[in-house]
Structure 1
Amino acid sequence: MRGQSRDSLAAADDRLEALLPSVDAGRLGEELFAVVRLLDSSAGLRRAVTDPAREEADRAALVTRLLRGQVQESTADVVAGVVRQRWSEPRDLVDALERLGTVALLASAEQQGALETLEEEVFRFSRLVAADDALARALGDRTAAPERRGALVDRLLAGRALEQTRALVRQAVVAPRGRRLEAALQDVLELAARRRQRLVAVVTAASPLTPSQQQRLAAALGRVYGRGVLVEVDVDPEVLGGVRVQVGDEVLDATVVSRLAEARRRLAG
């Protein structure tokens, strides 16, 4: 986000954090996702709630009337607060609401002492999809009704994951909003890590790392980056040996495959 939108998002984040201890954060998150889907479905409504020519009170009154009786009062208040702000682009407002919904669900898991479990479940689901082409196609099939894709998520995660995990994954599948599923789930992981004031390091190795190895790697990366690092391990036998570490856009590739490829390039040169 740029300029005005960035400032408006920061203000919305602060208001949400102040509200979270006193509301049902899980319900708030799911209802904000429903509002996101509503706004995504109507360009006219998006323009109406972001029109700078309209008074902010008028924009807030519009969404209050629209949502009355459909969501809890706290959800309507959050949405009204967001539409009172100025946004550089109509999409920025919807992006902000989705982010607030995600944060609310993360806070709900945190209140239950289950935020780390949620992170692990989201990461495992992303790896499951990456390893199964048929599943990836089914979840990403834009010709299928969103409800059908959402029902598939429900079947996959029913009784196997936190309710907050299911809601976050379902939103990423049902309303990808121009993103690939992997990118949408990575956004969730980054927000979760930020909530725990940690970075996420995705480590690809030929075989699982022991808890001791993960701890040593997390400690080493923490010294490099100056903050806590959550290590998520993706097992890929094709790397043969060594590890590949990605933190954000930074990649350290020390796998056998990468070293062999480098040796071939040198020989060819």
Structure 2
Amino acid sequence: MASVSSESLATARAALEGSRDSVSLKTATDLFGVLGVLDENPALQRALTDPARSTEERGALARRLFSGQVSDIVVDLAAQVAGSRFSSMGDFLDTFETLGVDATCLVAERGGETGIARLEDELFAFRNAVGDSHELQRALSMVSAPRESRERLAQGLTAHVSEPARVLITQAVLSPRGLKVVTLVERFSQFVAARHNLWIAHVETSQELTPEQGQRLAEALTRYFGRELKINATTLPSLIGGVRITVGDEVIDSSALAHINRLKQRLAS
């Protein structure tokens, strides 16, 4: 994504995150529903992204279109996305897909790290099952088949998975958006894996932590990030001292090596 699209996506994702306590699987299916409506209506896509309309006008149009059709959270998100700027129509549409996956993950995360890990494992298992079955691959490639047939196929494929996994697999089967179903599930898996990584703190220290130090660090990270994290600790003598912690994209580096490097940079400037 170009920077302007990335900024708009980040803003929309932050808004969804801010409503996480109210997010349900219906939120996810509503977001995918909005995407489906837009995918089928190029004229509507153009109207909601028309640069000749003001931000307020595009947002108001989205509200008129979707109010009463989807949940209030999704109406607000649709208005916000429509009022934002995107470098391409593809980025605009993909934003709703990403938000749908995010909403599904937020529900899975209520089960803690176990919940999001299960979702990741179930999507992985689906990819493996399809890859091992030529019959399934043929069935999933029949995008021209009646919707009722694809719905029955989706129900059969998701009979023994969690509700969050069912939402994502069903979305991929019913609306692959020009991709192979397994390719879209792979893309969903990448989103889920990235969020799962947010539950893991990769801790690097110059010396092995004692059990007491590990416990204190885990408690401090839980307070800082607002959720219980799984600690993945490794020893890296080159750090010299201190600790480097990575959670998702966030890095907390208080190692002696980092201090030395910053000092070198200041002396060189």
Under a length normalisation based on structure 2, what TM-score does the superposition of the two structures give?
Answer: 0.71
Aligned counterparts of 1:60 and 1:228: Cα–Cα separation in 2: 34
Aligned to 2:15: 15
Aligned counterparts of 1:228 and 1:24: Cα–Cα separation in 2: 23
Which has the larger displacement, 130-139 or 144-153?
144-153
Aligned counterparts of 1:156 and 1:116: Cα–Cα separation in 2: 19
Kept in 1, the 8 Å contact 2:24–2:104? The answer is yes
Identity of aligned residues (%): 34
Residue 133 (structure 2) pairs with residue 140 (structure 1): no
Kept in 2, the 8 Å contact 1:5–1:92? The answer is yes
Question: What is the RMSD computed on CA atoms of the aligned residues?
Answer: 2.4
Gaps of 5+ in 2: 200-231, 237-244, 249-269
Higher Rg of the two aligned structures? 2
Q: CA deviation at 1:220?
A: 11
Q: CA deviation at 1:147?
A: 4.0
Q: CA deviation at 1:183?
A: 2.0
Aligned to 2:119: 118
Q: CA deviation at 1:19?
A: 1.4
Q: CA deviation at 1:75?
A: 1.1
Aligned counterparts of 1:222 and 1:188: Cα–Cα separation in 2: 33
Give the paired residue count. Answer: 206
Change (3 A) 1:111 1:148: same
Letter in 2 for 1:145: P
Displacement over 6 Å in runs of 4+: 219-223, 226-229
Residue 66 (structure 2) pairs with residue 98 (structure 1): no
Q: Can you list the C-alpha shifts for 1:186-206, whole angstroms capped at 9, x where unaligned?
A: 11111112112269xxxxxxx
Structure-to-structure mapping, 1:200-215, within 5 angstroms: none
Aligned to 1:255: none
Aligned counterparts of 1:84 and 1:148: Cα–Cα separation in 2: 37
Kept in 1, the 8 Å contact 2:24–2:103? The answer is yes
Aligned to 1:259: none
Kept in 1, the 8 Å contact 2:158–2:169? The answer is no
Q: Can you list the C-alpha shifts for 1:58-105, whole angstroms capped at 9, x where unaligned?
A: 111111111121111111011111111011112211100110010100
Aligned to 1:129: 130
Aligned to 1:167: 167
Aligned counterparts of 1:139 and 1:220: Cα–Cα separation in 2: 42
Aligned counterparts of 1:107 and 1:185: Cα–Cα separation in 2: 18
Aligned counterparts of 1:80 and 1:139: Cα–Cα separation in 2: 33
Q: Can you list the C-alpha shifts for 1:245-268, whole angstroms capped at 9, x where unaligned?
A: xxxxxxxxxxxxxxxxxxxxxxxx
Letter in 1 for 2:138: R
